[in-house]
Amino acid sequence: MSIIKYIMVLLCLLLAGFSLPARAQNNPYKIDDSLYIIYQRATRWNTLPQGLLIADTLYAEATKKKDKKAQCLALTIPVHYYAAANNYDMLEQSAERLRLEARKNDYLQYYYFACTIEINKLLNNGRTLRALQKAEDMKKQAFEDKHDYGIFSCIRTLGNIYRVRGNEALAAEYYRKLWCICKSIFRSRTLQHFTRLSSDIIVVKRRKDMIRHWNWRRKV
């Protein structure tokens, strides 16, 4: 087949709704590699205004390439930025936009990521009652979605909130629930990491050791 005929056939296929094979995805997030490069640049600048501009570029390029996960990743940058800037009003807007995109694109880990960042900012600003209300809403949604990362995040967040509010007993109870959730989710080697931490989970001061082992799930 000549080059011209090949191009004509390809154009016909594209117009008929076919698409070219996906580009390489040799990165932890399994998005288009060209988009991953932009994402890496955005994360390096995610506490500066330049990061917002790079995030806009990433979102536009991801939309062109129909990479739905990269679209969600692009929207995590403003969430990081406004959280770091302590601008809760803009953080709330950015988090809501990410939640809508994550649900539309079926990448709910970013829905719960947005919830967690927003609640943590409320908690850090001393707005513990509002943080508790949002965490309860998050918990209800996570169980409705039956989403492991969402369930883990809301239970962990509730434990953190009760610790800050001075209710050590209830905080410890949530950390115990966290351990039970992990046992039901994880198996084999991953579960062993949590087993070694089991004695720490009911000790509120050392909860962060466990949390670090969960962060990898947001990349899946």
Summarised one tens digit per residue, pLDDT across range 88-105 is: 999 999 999 999 999 999
Radius of gyration of the chain (CA): 21
Quote the tokens at residue 119.
């609640």
Q: What is the value of pTM for the model shown?
A: 0.76
What CA–CA distance (Å, rounded) separates 196 from 206?
13
Kindly list the distances between the CA atom of residue 195 and the CA atoms of 11, 150, 159, 160, 181, in Å, as whole numbers in the listed order.
Answer: 56, 21, 19, 21, 12
Single-letter residue type at 31: I
Tokens at 91, concatenated: 């953080």
* pLDDT over 80 (residue 48): yes
CB 26 within 8 A of CB 33: yes
Q: Where are the alpha helices (DSSP H) in the chain?
A: 3-15, 33-44, 49-65, 68-84, 88-105, 108-124, 128-145, 148-164, 168-185, 188-196, 198-201, 208-214
d(C-alpha 184, C-alpha 182), whole Å: 5
Alpha-carbon distances of 26 from 29, 30, 31, 111, rounded to whole Å: 8, 7, 8, 24
Length, in residues, of the chain = 220
Inter-residue contact 203 to 168 (CB < 8 Å): no
Decide if pLDDT at 219 tops 60: no
Range name among 31-35, 127-131, 199-203, 209-213 with the lowest pLDDT average: 199-203
Q: Is 106 left (phi over 0), alpha (psi -120 to 50) or beta?
A: left
Q: How far is CA 21 from CA 25, 122, 157, 199, in A?
A: 11, 44, 41, 49
Residue scoring higher pLDDT (64 or 13): 64
Say what percent of the chain tops pLDDT 90: 68
For the segment 142-185, what is each residue's pLDDT rounded down to a tens digit?
A: 999 999 999 999 999 999 999 999 999 999 999 999 888 877 76
